[in-house]
Amino acid sequence: QVQLVESGGGLVQPGGSLRLSCAASGNIFRINAMAWYRQAPGKPREFVARITSTRISNYADSVKGRFTISRNNAENTVYLQMSSLKPEDTAVYYCNANIMPIMQDVYDYWGQGTQVTVSS
């Protein structure tokens, strides 16, 4: 069974920084792209950033220049470094990974989410 577990959320003042982590565990054969999404109250889930297994990354326009996605392939972990945070970044942040478990088909897995609140 594959699991994604996020950590690092919390309350931060506008202009501050946070670093989110997401660790994948279980019977993993290969992890392809990993990504972060977020969902603010009353809004649909939206794409934030994505990184391939070869570390090619892309970002939503709203976070470009402020957020950085990275990954540690040896530890099956993806990170989201968030800087210059704004109140509109407040949301539950979800980790997503395209994973091939051992002896199974590729599937998109989701973490349980971690709350990020930007407020003074």
pLDDT in tens, 72-111: 999 999 999 999 999 999 999 999 999 999 999 999 999 9
The C-alpha angle with vertex 119 and arms to 16 and 14, in degrees rounded to 5, equals: 30
| Residue 22 pLDDT grade (very low, low, confident, very high; cuts 50, 70, 90) | very high
- pLDDT tens for 26-55 read 999 999 999 999 999 999 999 999 999 999
- Reduced to 3 states (helix: H, G, I; strand: E, B; else coil), residue 89 is helix
Confidence of residue 7 (pLDDT cuts 50, 70, 90): very high
Q: How far is CA 99 from the centre of its chain?
A: 15
